[in-house]
Each structure stands twice: as structure tokens, then as C-alpha cells.
Amino acid sequence: MTEGKADPATESTAETDPYRWLEEVEGDRQLDWARARSKEAETELAAAEDFAELERGIREVLDSDARIPIPSQVGDHIYNFWRDADNERGLWRRTTPDGYRLDNPPWETVLDLDALGSAEGQPWVWHGAQLLRPDYRLALVDLSRGGSDADVTREFDVQTLEWVSDGFERPESKGGLGWVDRDAVFVSTDFGPGSMTDSGYPRLVKLWRRGTPLADASQVYAGEASDVVVAGQHDDSPGFERDFVLREIAFYRGELYVRAADGALTKVDAPDSAEKSVHRRWLTLLLRDPWTVAETPYPAGALLVVEFDGFLHGERRLALAFEPSEHSSLEAFAWTKHHLVLTILEDVKTRLEVLTPSGDGWRRTQLTSEAAIASLDVRAVDSDETDTVWLTAHDFLQPPTLSVADVSGDQPAATAPERVKAMPALFDGRSHVAEQHFAKSDDGTRVPYFLIRPRDLALDGTAPTLLRGYGGFEVSEMPAYDPVTGKGWVEPGGVYAVANIRGGGEYGPRWHQAALRENRHRAYEDFAAVARDLCDRGVTSPAHLGCMGGSNGGLLVGNMLTRWPRLFGAIVVAVPLLDMRRYSRLLAGASWMAEYGDPDTDDWEFIRTFSPYHLFDAEVDYPPTLIWTTTRDDRVHPGHARKMAALMSAAGKDVRYFENTEGGHGAGSTNAQVAHLYALTFAFLRKYLGDPAGQSATP
């Protein structure tokens, strides 16, 4: 073995798991255990001399009125959901487009979640709303108890600002409602035994008419128990109204059906692995696998565009909107009324292109040139009515700006975007610089990572450094302004690094697929390579290097803990997957088998090599560890975190555990909860890696 790697042959088995009892989420014994462990961690970490100041600083940036209110234009209003010190649970509010541009917009409160929660005695968390065209008076509002994925839906009148008497109301479940018209909705929810998939999501979609019981809703489509989820969707674009059924067979395989007025379904005949979407007259196909059509080959990662109605009738004259290269991938795309805007990554740096249909194909123009170490998010202001987009610029050290751009001209780049909002700095990053570097993984692959460091950093290996990563589900780790990490780690002088490892989407499907299933080890080798590169450059050393990851990133750092423990001085494992023998049987775990494999088959032979709960070896010295989760996480089961903490604690390892009672698959449901948990996290990192302001680490 090398670098303290555990031997999978020493794994414990599911049958002899002494901590299986901790999987009962809300049992009295289990909650007593979680409260006791949380109190121990809190007592230790909150005892730091500057803890109150640290927590207060993080809470201030979360509550700051200077944050940019994210706009969503619906009809004649801009809607926004907002939380601050005075509105802990948040306000759903609106203003006019002209009012939004003011420094202090005249917001009108539509729904006050604090008042609602107080009146109903429930810790409601906002999950969004869908307003009904054309007058946008009626809304379907989704609310979660404590932040769980399971939620309720209620009908709300935004003119009277009241719940609709005898309106549509869906009981608590994973699923949702979606408008078809004023008197009908598509509903996917828990209809009783047999109605949910093995992954815990709806297997059935039904049409529910106003004034009838939910039990009388008529079935539209039934998926298989092995599917991930099915749902119905109505496209209300004027002149292009259509009904769809979406069947997600596995995480990267799905079917799209068009539903006729008589209920007949027609499948969109494209590869199951292609991501399919329809906008007005156009069908877009984002390929995850190569596809040859009429003897023309298209690579994985390509974006194809074709007229939707023609495609349904057999037309296959596809336009190649984007073709990947060794260094480029398509991160996202957005439609306006007449144009298609592409967000392209070149070695994880953003540029934008605008495509316009014309008589001789698609005209291509540049909206921006290649950015520096920053990223741009693009959203249509109203994709059915205008050719304007919102542009949000992100940077590790510069606060974000929100601009609006009209992409309808022949040369969009010639028209500078108009800045609408700019957020002032919420932490002091003036002493730092952001850089991009590349590490070499075990198989020779160049792995990019971002480094945010003090400008005058002495390369003597003593800098307290936090390395983060994710490496899964084709999710890209992009430059972003993170005021919590900025306030808690960067501003005091810490070094911060973000790894773009395989399993992510930074180089498209090939980058993701390179670390699937039996190749999962590559993601972990990439991350370890970045850690070693930071040390080789003299930025830090193992005693001062910490890592942190959540969800799939929690599995990542769980593997750092059990396979490369001597590379790190402290590890934070958040809302993690850790017991990969049981993961597919816990909550939504079955939906991720395309990513990790099926542990109830021969796949276990490779899955066990990256299951931290089974790689743990009581004879190995592990770095100080903080594991945290939430009781209300109904996506990644809190049993993963609980059992790992119990296993390590029983072996006398340096581990502490914290569990928030709320938060869903996150750090908390309120800014106060989030600030407290991240203050504990940064207090832990400072204690064991060294204070970024210059104090030494605990031996």
C-alpha cells in the first residue's frame, strides 16, 4: 500500500455493520446520538477565541442588503426571492422592470414565509413558484418543511395575495404540479403503493382537473419502478403550445414524448443519452455519446439543432451548433426569441457565442471574447418575447455584476452589455490573486485547478490551504464569488484552491465519462495530484493542507481520508455519500447507479475500492476530520455521515460530527444556521491547518 491507502480486503460487510441502526433518520435514540455528538463538536470548535467574530462576519455577508437580487421577469413584473436579517425564511417579492433598475427598488411583498411559518407552525423553505400565462395571476407555490426535497404545492393568487380557496393543493411528497391551463395541471407525486420509483421519485404522471379529487386524476403515463422519475410539462409559448412527458430512465438516459390532444404520445426519436429540449420551432440535442445520422458522424459533446415538427416527421437535416475540441466544451446554452446563446469553456474559461438562423444556415457571432479567470451566466429575460439576456459575471475575488444585453444585432459584440447591478465587495480580497495551474494525474492527464493566494505568498510550504472539489455528474467547478469562503478563509490570508477533476463537466462528456463506475478512481487520483502539486510548488504542505467537499464531493474527500490520509492535515466531509454498499438502498441513491454502479451485482468488486466506510482501517492514522449533515436531507441519507463518524469515533480517531436539524441537502435553511455551521467549519480548519492570519496549527 502507498500513502496510507486501506486494503479493500479489510472492509467490513453490510451483514456485520454495527451502526446500521443510525440509518433510522428520526428515531429518538438516533436523534439523541446526533444531538450529543453535535454538542461535543460545537463545544470544541465554538471555544475558539475569535469564533463569535467569525460567525458574525459570515452572517453579515449572507444577510447583506448589497447582494444582487436575482431577477425573474414574468409579464410586467420582476420577481425575486430574498432572505436577510429581518426576513429569516424569506420574502417572495416583485417590482417593475423600471423599478428594478433603481438603487433601491420599490419591492412589493407577495408572500412572507416567516409570517406563514409562524401562523402554521412549520419551518417553511421556499422551493419556487410557477405563474400561469397569460395574465400571470395564479401561481403554483412549492414549499418544503425544513429544506427537504419533498415538498407541498399550493395555489396562490398574486392579485389578492391569498391562497386560492379550494385551489390545487398537493400533499407533501417528492414530485410537483405544472400548469396546463387555468383548470388543469400535470401532477407527479406519491399516489400510494407502487406509484414511486426505486429512487423515491414519482413513477406516474396524471392530469388533474380543477374541482376534482386528486385521486380522480387521469393517468397520462406510467414509467417503470427502475426509472428515476417521470413528469409532465406544458409549453405555453404563444403559437407553439405543446404538452410533453419526460421519462428519466437513468441519470444519463431519458425519453421525451409529445402528447397530442387525444392523449396519444409520440416519442422524439433521438438517442436516449442525448439531452433533448424544445424552444418554439426548434429542437436541440446535446449529445453525450457519438451519433451518426445520414452517414454524418457527430461527436459526444456536440449540440445539434433541427426544426422540431420536421424532426417528428423524419427530417434529419441537423445543424451543428457546437462541436467540442480537446480544450473546449459546451457549458450551457440559452434561447432568446430568435437566437441561441452558447456558453463555451476553453480550458475552464468562458466565452459566449450567438447563433442566428438564416436562409443558408446559422450565422455565428461573438458576444464576448475569452474571459480571464471568471465565468458568465446567461439567462433570457423573456425567451418568448425578446432577444435580451441577463449576463451575470462571476470572479473569485471581484464581486458579481449583472448586465443586460441585446443579442439581436448582426454584431452583438459591438453592443456593450448595459450594467444594471453591481455588488460591492463583501470580503477584502485585495491582497490576493487568482491563477490557473495544471497538475499531472497518475495516468498523465493534465488536470486544471484554480489557485487563489496572497499576492506576496512565500513559497515555503507553510500557508494554510483549503482545497475543494466535486468531480461527478458532469458538473463543472467554475470561478465564483463566494463571500462565505471569502470572509471565513480568504480575507484572513488563507490560500484557496478549486480542482477541476475528471467526473465533472469542464471538458464535456468525455471528462465526465472518464471517471464513471469502474474508472471512479481517476477522479480521486486527479484530486490527489492537485494536492501534491500544491505541495510541490511550495504553496503548502500536508500539515497545512485541508480539503472539503459535499455530497458527491463528500465521497471524494472521504476517499482522500481513507486512501491518501498523509496528504492532508484536516478534512471536512459534508452531506456525504460514504457507505457505497448501501447507498442505492437509501433515499435517492438508486438514481445514481449510472454514476457509481450497482453494489448488489458484481459491480461491488470495483465499488468497494472507493467506499470510504469499507476502506476505513482502525490501524491507520487519519487526519483530524469534521463530518456534517442535516436531519432533513432526504437526498443523501444522513446515515452515511452518522455511521462514518461512529465508526471512526469507536476506533479512537480524531473525528467530530455535527448535524443540523434543518437544511435539506445543504448547510441550513436560514442564514443563521448556515453562518453557524460554516463558522464551525472554518474554526476547525484554522485549528488544525493554522490560522490564515499567521498563527500556527495545533500539533
Please list the active-site residues: 551, 665
C-alpha 477/C-alpha 471 separation (Å) is: 8
Helix (H) or strand (E) holding 604: helix 604-607
Cα–Cα distance, 13 to 35 (Å, whole number):
27
* Cα–Cα nearest to 487, from 10, 26, 2, 64: 64
Q: Quick check: 411 and 490 in contact, CB under 8 A?
A: no
| Rounded Cα distance, 161 and 666, in Å | 30
Of the candidates 286, 236, 226, the one whose C-alpha atom is nearest the C-alpha of residue 256 is: 286
Q: How far apart are CA 185 and CA 113, in angstroms?
A: 24
How far is the CA of 575 from the CAs of 38, 550, 687, in angstroms?
14, 5, 22
Distance in angstroms (rounded) separating the CA atoms of residues 551 and 433: 29
Sign, Cα dihedral of 458, 460, 466, 470: positive
Distances (CA, A) of 509 to 212, 271, 498: 45, 15, 20
Sign of CA pseudo-dihedral 266, 271, 273, 276: negative
CB 643 within 8 A of CB 649: no
Other residues' Cβ atoms within 10 Å of the Cβ of residue 17: 18
- Helix, strand or coil for residue 488? helix
| Beta strand ranges found along 96-241 (DSSP E) | 108-112, 124-131, 138-145, 151-157, 162-163, 169-173, 176-181, 184-188, 204-209, 218-222, 229-235
Integer Cα distance of 141 and 151 in angstroms? 10
Q: How far apart are CA 357 and CA 367, in angstroms?
A: 16
Please state whether beta strands 465-468 and 495-499 pair in parallel, antiparallel, or not at all (unpaired): parallel
Axis-axis angle for helices 552-563, 521-536 (nearest 10): 70
Contact 611, 555 (CB under 8 A): no
What strand order describes the sheet that includes 465-468? 432-440, 446-454, 495-499, 465-468, 545-550, 570-574, 625-630, 655-660
CA 294 distance to own-chain centroid: 37
**Is residue 197 within 8 Å of residue 226, measured between CB atoms?**
yes
The answer to whether the CB of 632 falls within 8 A of the CB of 662 is yes
For 640, what's the count of Cα atoms within 13 Å in the CB-facing half-sphere?
35
C-alpha cell at 297: 458522424
What single string gives the DSSP state of each residue in 273-304?
TSEEEEETTEEEEE-SS-EEETTEEE-TT-EE
Report the C-alpha gap between 450 and 348 in whole angstroms.
Answer: 10
DSSP states along 186-205: EEES--STT-B-TTSSB-EE
Of residues 107, 72, 75, the one with CA closest to residue 93: 107
